[in-house]
Structure 1
Amino acid sequence: MTSSKPTTLRGALPGLRRTAKHVAPHLRSERPLLAGGLAAMFAEVLMRLLEPWPLKFVLDGVIASSGAEIAGEAPTSLTTVLLLASTGLLVVVALRALAAYLMTVAFALAGNRLLTRVRGQAFTHLQTLSMAFHDNSRTGDLVARVTSDVGRLKEVAVTAALPLIGNVVTMIAMVGVVFVLDAPLALVMIAVLPVFLLTGARVSKRINGVSRQQRKAEGALASMATESLSAMRVIQSYSLEDKMSSAFASSNQKTLKDGVKAKKLSAGLERKTDLLVGIATAAVLYIGATRVLAGALTPGELVVFITYLKAAFKPMRDLAKYTGRIAQAAASGERLVDVFEQTPKVVNSSWARPARRFRGDVWLRGVWMSYTPRHPVLRGMDLHVHPGERVAVVGPSGAGKSSLAMLLSRLRDPEAGQVCIDGIDVRDLTLESLRPQIAIVLQESLLFATTIRENIADGAPGTTDTQVEEAARLAGAHDFIMALPHGYETVVGERGTTLSGGQRQRIAIARAAVRDAPIVILDEAMTGLDKGTEDEVIAAMNRLTQGRTTIIITHDLAAARDADRVFWVEGGVVTDSGRPDTVLDRRTGAAAATGPEAEPEANAETTEGKEQDRALTT
């Protein structure tokens, strides 16, 4: 998900358009609220336009009245003018405050709803992406995209962009009014805009570049924190606390430097903008005063000019103020869109159909699969498991054994060959009907930080409490669960760390049991257990797998001897298969033999074993 990022505001526009494409569907559902907010915004703009005029009438009326008194003339109804102007100013200010309140609430509510929907869509989309994506992504960085990046996206979409639009509309309206009042003075007023645009473009380029570096560093920091906290047992066991703290501090310092640099640039742009506004105000004040003395303007109109000048340049100040935040949000939006534009590699084909209840006949025919390009793990594997048969897949580490589980569940698809169940290619079946018919017990049985009952019930939607307890009894877990403080309602720690390895494994077996799946895969499910616990888990697994097609993936030769047949996998292919004692004795004997003269004999036996297996399976 890495790509070259633009470093200018203009260069960021394509990325912003990409972001808008994914945000727009959620904004559509908020049209009534956004329309109300825009109406309130335009009402507030109108009140801003009206606000200086009562002061203009009062000022001109007072000056006119003072001139009449000096000339000995009777004063006009100044009291009436003052009363109307004061009342009008109060009404305008009150309406403006109400409009501003309604605008803020409407935009904030729309923004939070938008944030909720986009974040939910992002999380859901991440769960649909294939294992090939997740294996090559850092968890902490993905978490940062779903959480903080979505928050910054809301910032630019609602809390900064929409009010900025209101200020731009205000500026355009005010410039139009002052052109009607006095065109030459209006030209003086807007003369600083080109200077601001040139200055802002140069500084915003640097802010955008720094902001992208900061978001990238924050993603790396989140990944480091996630990895460290999830591996706390390893860190403390190997006394790596100082090393991890030092690495985190270095990354943390990098984000601090980038953040401070962006703030300095943004603050510098704000101060330059204030200086430009001050220059424009001084010029308008001087030239406007000369035009008042010349009779081209009234004093009240000059006050309106000055008031409009400050209000009209507010968008310039806001743009300077929000440049850093908009840059960060634009970078966050692109990072989020990078996730949305990732497509799942494993999906239902257009011709896929729901699977019937499996008999459990498993075939792999000439299967090739790789995790990284040009480095295949499976190299034309052939394997056949009969319905209800219990087989063991044995071989050295890295031979491709665990890849079988991923292929059968379609967590990955082969690059070549076929994976068939009951004679049907699994790619011709819907994922929703395929995966529930395969139960997997892994070496590391991950549990969620919720109750034991919910962890078991996660095995199959709609599982009842009675079915949960029956599965727990089958797994030999009921007794120790009832001995816990809250029984089945006991909340386990994250990843199940508050339970022992054997307890976690038996709950995982119970979770697999509620699926009532015709195919069961045990992937190194007994690794790391002590002898007593292993015996209990083996008994539970035997109860789980009774009458089901069972594939035991293991490097433990003793565990493989209880299988009906053994497949020896090496180099991504099945090099031997047959009865457990025959294959295991043959393979261990071949491994013990040394010298080149032992090799042909082993190869001959391997070939003979494969031919016997073909005869058996046909």
Structure 2
Amino acid sequence: MSQGRKDKLSEVMPSLGRILRRLAPYLRGHHGVLGGSVLALLAATAMKLLEPWPLKFVIDRVVPSAAGEVAGLAQLAPTTLLALCAVGLVVITALKALFQYLSTVGFAIVGNRVLTKVRSDLFRHLQTLSPGFHSRARAGDLTMRLVSDVGMLKETAVTAMLPLAANVAVLAGMLGVMLWLDWRLALLALSPLPILWLVSLRLTRRIREVSRTQRRREGELAATGAETMAGIRTVQAMGLEDRATEVFGAAGKRDLRAGVKGKRLSAGLERSVDVLTGMGLAIVLWFGSLQVMAGRISPGDLLVFITYLKNTFRPVREYAKYTARLAKAAAAGERVVALLDEEPEVYDAPDAMRAPPLEGRVAFEGVHFGYAPGLPTLKGVWVDVPPRQLVAVTGPSGTGKSTLASLLLRLYDPAKGRICIDGHDLRSLTLASLRANIAFVPQETLILSGTLAENIALGAGREVTREEIERAAMLAGAHDFISAQPQGYDTETAERGVTLSAGQRQRIAIARAALRAAPVLVLDEPTVGLDRTSEAAVARAIFRLAEGRTTFLITHDLNLAARADRILHLEGGTVVEDGDHAALLARGGQYAAMWNEGKDGRHAIAG
């Protein structure tokens, strides 16, 4: 029997309980405001309970009735009692309004503070999740969870959860008073509640399922729109507008169907509550009137009963009214909590230490890795790179060149083997201290909103002066084009840096790396997609940047690789050739074959 009861309760709002438990730690530090809000809520409940009593006294004492006079008030003149009741009604109503205001504002403050912290922590947590997670997830859906789902929780906490909490408190108080006035009438009045509870359970479960589906559809809709906008140039260039609109429209129709179904179920629940509330009022009116005529209760008592009964059913009516909103909040909360509970694949070991000052000796010792089970990308890589050596990593696409960089940055961990810097296994160092010792120039440069100077300073990981920024820009060959901008270094960048050329964005990335005093430098295809002039400028900046650092230059550009101290040529996920440019040409292997294929000058670089 108890198990069946548990199952039914778990069907009502199981996710809200889990969400509240998961977010409970965020309430620390807000107990004062929360406690005051609860006291204000209880005071408002008390005023709500007192609200019909002045009218009861007027009917029982001022208006002649068969019920006689109210004990303790017989000595008061009718006009005096009427005036006191009128004043009392105003005072009670004013106090109720004041306490409701205080509780609403207090809960809103706590809710907004807590969920703002949740959103901040969620954003930080998303940044700790591995590239593997982000490759599986859709950026638009993650943005929806971060912005819209947390916003739904904030809005629902004030507009749905707080009214329901207030009504539940009122319900408990009114039930007690009704049973005290006349327990038989109270039991008759509440007789429709079991039917109402069963109807609510059945419909609420279906509404919650529909709302969960609708929230997922909304996430898909946001993801589809975000993906299209991110690739708008390709969409327009290929004339894919109609196709993109068709896909987006189909997602919108699925969301529409789920929304209509949810609204239909919610409306059905509300109307069921209205019908059963009417039944309860009819029973009280009939039986209560008989009690008044029999002299067992006064007309004022019957008035209090009817007033209380209407308010007793309000929590259920409000529950029906807000069920869809609460179900959406539950679905949104599930998505937020699911992200918060997502475990990073790469994390600091319990005994991880901060990296000591490093020289930059890098060793790959029997490294195996694959992005998916049974599909290895690297198969037993053994490489030892001494400090301050410039190593070019070459090979056909898909042989694991960029994977080496990802493993060195510890975006992933090897399946077998280990990677060491100065003899320290990367997994023995904290992620923050490891990455602080590696400067990275990616293939696609991230440009954030802000000035050009602010974008360059992103690479430092510390406060830097304007002079340091300008020196880094000069090293990267970026100073001249930055100085030519309307406001120079204070020029605001457009979204994703679309007003900058690919070569200019790449030199911004090199300037960032120059600001980071890191002994290891990783460059992932830094010249891909550049015109010949930009290639030459970026190449000159690369070799200036590499001076005095252990450098891994991942590139398809063999003319660029030829200038390295050492070349690692990968085939089939392993290093098949290792040596300088002249040695590999003399060997006549795969590297030499690739070099001979490119002798037509397509890779030519000035200087």
TM-score by length of 1: 0.90
CA–CA distance in 2 between the matches of 1:441 and 1:591?
Answer: 25
Task: Report what 2:345 is aligned to.
Answer: 345
Give 1:363-378 correspondences, 5 Å limit.
363-378=363-378
Structure 1 residue aligned with 2:575 = 574
Q: Render the CA deviation track for 1:522-550: whole Å, top value 9, x for unaligned.
A: 11100011111111111111111122221
Cα separation, partners in 2 of 1:13 and 1:64, compared to 1, 3 Å: closer
Q: Secondary structure at the match of 2:64?
A: helix
Q: How far apart, CA to CA, are the structure 2 residues paired with 1:353 and 1:186?
A: 68
Aligned to 1:547: 548
The one-letter amino acid of 1:587's match is Q
Specify the code of the residue in structure 1 equivalent to 2:231: A
- Cα offset, 1:406, TM superposition: 1.0
Q: What's the CA shift for 1:395?
A: 0.6
Q: How does 1:323-362 map to 2 (within 5 A)?
A: 323-362=323-362
Map 1:169-208 → 2, pairs under 5 A: 169-208=169-208
Alpha carbons of structure 1 residues 196 and 67: separation in structure 2 relative to 1, 3 Å: closer
After the TM superposition, which of the residue ranges 128-137 and 572-581 deviates more from structure 2? 128-137
Tell me how far apart the structure 1 counterparts of residues 351 and 94 of structure 2 sit (CA, whole Å): 64
Q: Give the aligned residue type for 2:542.
A: M
1:75 deviates by 12
Matched residue type, 2:505: R
How far the C-alpha of 1:436 sits from its partner, in A, is 1.5
* Partner residue, 1:605: none
1:582 shift after superposition: 3.6
Q: Contact 2:472–2:511 at 8 Å: present in 1 too?
A: yes
8 A Cα contact 1:111 1:159, kept in partner: no
Alpha-carbon shift at residue 357 of structure 1 (Å): 2.8
Is this contact kept in 2: 1:8–1:208, CA < 8 A?
A: no
**What do the CA deviations read for 1:4-46 (whole angstroms, capped 9, x no partner)?**
xxx9862465533332232111123221111111111111111
In 2, are the aligned partners of 1:9 and 1:205 still within 8 Å (CA)?
Answer: no
Q: How has the CA–CA distance of structure 1 residues 583 and 8 changed in structure 2, closer, same or farther, with 3 Å as cutoff? A: farther
With over 3 angstroms needed to count, the CA separation of the structure-2 counterparts of 1:120 and 1:46, relative to structure 1, is same
What SS is found at the alignment partner of 1:176? helix
2:291 counterpart SS class:
helix
Deviation at 1:139, TM superposition (A): 1.2
Summarize deviations over 1:231-278 as a string: whole Å, max 9, x none: 112111211111111111111121122112111211111111011111
* Alpha-carbon distance between aligned partners in 2 of 1:84 and 1:439, rounded to the nearest angstrom: 79
Aligned mates of 2:485, 2:237 — CA distance in 1? 28
- Give 1:276-315 correspondences, 5 Å limit: 276-315=276-315
Percent identity, aligned pairs only, is: 49
Mapped pair 1:152 → 2:152? yes
Partner of 2:274: 274
Task: For residue 591 of structure 1, report the CA deviation from its aligned partner.
Answer: 7.0
- The one-letter code sitting in structure 2 at the alignment partner of 1:586 is G
- How far off is 1:592 after superposition? 11
The runs of 5 or more residues in structure 1 that have no matched partner are 1-6, 69-73, 594-618
2-side partners of 1:376 and 1:13: how far apart?
44
Q: Distance in 1 between matches of 2:506 and 2:84?
A: 82
2:529 maps to: 528
Over 3 Å counting, the alpha-carbon distance change for 1:148 and 1:8 in structure 2 is farther
| SS at 1:353 equivalent | coil
Do the aligned partners of residues 356 and 75 (structure 1) sit closer, same or farther apart at CA in structure 2, a change above 3 Å counting?
closer
Code of the residue aligned with 2:473 in structure 1: it is A
C-alpha distance in structure 1 between counterparts of 2:573 and 2:548, whole Å = 29
CA distance in structure 2 between the partners assigned to 1:125 and 1:591 by the alignment: 43
Alignment of 1:36-55 (within 5 A): 36-55=36-55
List aligned pairs for 1:116-155, cutoff 5 A: 116-155=116-155
Cα RMSD (Å): 2.1
SS in 2 for 1:539: helix
> Which amino acid in structure 2 is aligned with residue 396 of structure 1?
P
Match of residue 398 from structure 2: 398
Aligned to 1:561: 562
User: Which residue in the other structure is 1:476 paired with?
Assistant: 477
Residues 1:412 and 1:75: Cα distance change in structure 2 (over 3 Å): closer
**How much has 1:586 moved relative to structure 2?**
2.7
The CA distance in 2 between the partners of 1:424 and 1:507, in whole Å, is: 31
Give the AA of the match of 1:368: H
Q: Distance in 2 between matches of 1:268 and 1:206?
A: 12
Higher alpha-carbon deviation: 132-141 or 58-67: 58-67
Query: Hey, what's the Cα distance between the residues in 2 that align with 1:353 and 1:184?
Result: 72
Could you tell which deviates more after superposition, 155-164 or 526-535? Answer: 155-164
> Counterparts of 1:321 and 1:306 in 2: how far apart (Å)?
22
In the alignment, the residues of structure 2 paired with residue 138 and residue 298 of structure 1 have an alpha-carbon distance, to the nearest angstrom, of: 66
Amino acid in structure 2 at the alignment position of 1:80: T
**Alpha carbons of 1:66 and 1:83: their partners in 2 closer, same or farther (altered >3 Å)?**
farther
For 1:378, the aligned partner's letter is L
Comparing 547-556 with 534-543, greater Cα deviation is found at: 547-556
Match of 1:240 in 2: 240
Conserved in 2, the CA contact under 8 Å of 1:34 and 1:110? yes
Q: Return the alpha-carbon distance in structure 2 between the equivalents of residues 431 and 529 of structure 1.
A: 32
Deviation at 1:572, TM superposition (A): 0.7
TM-score normalised by L of structure 2: 0.92
Q: For structure 2, list consecutive stretches of 5 or more residues without a partner in the other structure.
A: 1-6, 69-73, 597-607
Match in the other structure for 2:589: 586
Cα distance change on mapping 1:442 and 1:75 into 2, 3 Å: closer
Paired position in structure 1 for 2:491: 490
Structure 1 residues 582 and 230 mapped into 2: Cα distance closer, same or farther (>3 Å)? same
| C-alpha distance 361-193 of structure 1, shift in aligned 2 (>3 A) | same
Shift of 1:563: 1.3
SS of residue matched to 2:141: helix
Matching residue's letter, 1:339: L
Q: Distance in 1 between matches of 2:8 and 2:481?
A: 62
CA deviation vs aligned residue, 1:427-475 (integer Å, no higher than 9, x gap): 1222222112211111111211211111110101222211111000111
Q: What is the aligned partner in structure 2 of residue 77 from structure 1?
A: 77
Distance of aligned partners of 1:347 and 1:12 in 2 relative to their CA distance in 1, 3 Å threshold: farther
Q: Is the 8 A contact 1:456 1:511 kept in 2?
A: yes
Q: Is the Cα contact below 8 Å between 1:156 and 1:330 reproduced in 2?
A: no
CA spacing shift, 1:375–1:322, aligned 2, 3 Å: same
**Alpha-carbon contact 2:270-2:320 (below 8 Å) kept:** yes
Q: CA deviation at 1:66?
A: 10
